[in-house]
């Protein structure tokens, strides 16, 4: 899974479909027929530019430098009523969760969520009609045919919103990356300073009986993120595609747990009020530093409306119980 500078979640590309091939104005001729009738075939269809969902891609990096996507033109019609070859289609494989927008209007054209899903971004031009279509009682040997229809050109914005079963939500240094590294094979950068995570990281978390779920470590939120402060909208949008939200607040926070949770919730609500309708869990991280008495005192102050658990990624405290909670929330 792509990390660091290899994570690209926004590209703008110019898509141009192929022109339709011209119809043929051929008149039938052979050694037995000196002046035959029209037998010109139709032109081939111009190639489409097609969007295709692929579970093999996690980022739009492979499209970062492909600014112009050009499909092949259709072939001209042939004699003996043969249709010209269709132009070769151009496929843009994109990760699941990619939204295609018209760059000029901002209109959402397609939302790719399934592996193998195919949508035509710019359709190829229709092939022109061969001369035999124009034969009539008054025109037995038309010596003309129809030109092919032109292809289409359109600037498209591709925007990735990470698809995951559970998204980790919290301020910088809440322990999100550490948890992801412990429960999956993902290797996010971890350091003791804010904003270590600058891009979403994904990990596949193994669960009981060979089952698994996808966890997304979303870059840390700050107050004002919904207004674009810090990493702002660019990464808040990734939370939209997470089935369950796991709020993570460190036990050593300067605020109360309830206050920090409320701030995080308000930021999500301000960005997109529908986010708070998702199932939510709360994990108090770094709880290995708490003794039983302090943990009990802190537990009494936790928000009542959300299931919560004290964990430590370092000691492994309650990690399996957290997985159980996540699995239940995903499947309820």
219 in Cβ contact with 199 (< 8 Å): yes
Mapping DSSP to helix (H, G, I), strand (E, B) and coil, where does residue 329 land? helix
Q: Nearest CA to 24 among 73, 87, 86, 79?
A: 79
Mapping DSSP to helix (H, G, I), strand (E, B) and coil, where does residue 287 land? helix
40 in Cβ contact with 161 (< 8 Å): no
Annotation: binding site? 170-177, 195-199, 217-220, 285-288, 312-314
Annotation: binding site for Mg(2+)? 177, 197
Alpha-carbon gap, residue 199 to 216, rounded angstroms: 10
Distance, C-alpha 106 to centroid of its chain: 16
Alpha-carbon gap, residue 136 to 38, rounded angstroms: 11
Distances (CA, A) of 220 to 154, 249, 306, 313, 328: 35, 11, 21, 18, 25
β-pairing, 118-122 vs 49-54, is: antiparallel
124 in Cβ contact with 18 (< 8 Å): yes
Alpha-carbon gap, residue 163 to 177, rounded angstroms: 18
Annotation: binding site for GTP? 170-177, 195-199, 217-220, 285-288, 312-314
23 in Cβ contact with 146 (< 8 Å): yes
Backbone φ and ψ of 269, nearest 5°: -65, -40
Mapping DSSP to helix (H, G, I), strand (E, B) and coil, where does residue 23 land? coil
């Amino acid at each position: 899974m792509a990390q660091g500078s290899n994570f690209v979640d926004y590209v703008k590309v110019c898509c141009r479909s192929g022109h339709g091939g011209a119809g043929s104005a051929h008149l039938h001729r052979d050694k037995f027929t000196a002046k035959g009738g029209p037998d010109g075939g139709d032109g081939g269809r111009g190639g489409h530019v097609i969007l295709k969902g692929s579970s093999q891609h996690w980022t739009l990096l492979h499209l970062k430098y492909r600014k112009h996507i050009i499909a092949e033109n259709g072939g001209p019609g042939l004699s003996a009523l043969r249709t010209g070859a269709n132009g070769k289609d151009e496929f843009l494989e994109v990760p699941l969760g990619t939204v295609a927008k018209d760059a000029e209007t901002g209109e959402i054209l397609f939302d790719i969520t399934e592996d193998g899903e195919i949508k035509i971004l710019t359709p190829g031009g229709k092939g022109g009609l061969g001369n035999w279509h124009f034969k009539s009682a008054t025109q037995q040997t038309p010596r003309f045919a129809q030109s092919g229809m032109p292809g289409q050109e359109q600037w498209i914005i591709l925007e990735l919103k990470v698809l995951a079963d559970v998204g980790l939500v919290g301020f910088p240094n809440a322990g999100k990356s550490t948890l992801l590294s412990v429960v999956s094979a993902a290797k996010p950068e971890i350091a003791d300073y804010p904003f270590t995570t600058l891009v979403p990281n994904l990990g596949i978390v193994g669960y009981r009986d060979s089952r698994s779920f996808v966890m997304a470590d979303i870059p840390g939120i700050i107050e004002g993120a919904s207004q674009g402060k810090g990493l702002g909208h660019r990464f808040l949008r990734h939370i939209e595609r997470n089935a369950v939200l796991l709020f993570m607040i460190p036990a050593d926070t300067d605020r109360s747990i309830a206050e920090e949770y409320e701030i995080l919730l308000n930021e999500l609500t301000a960005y997109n009020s529908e986010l708070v309708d998702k199932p939510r869990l709360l994990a108090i991280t770094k709880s290995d530093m708490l003794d039983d008495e302090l943990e009990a005192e802190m537990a009494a102050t936790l928000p009542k409306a959300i299931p919560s658990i004290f964990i430590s990624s370092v000691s492994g405290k309650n990690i399996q119980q957290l997985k159980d909670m996540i699995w239940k929330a995903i499947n309820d």
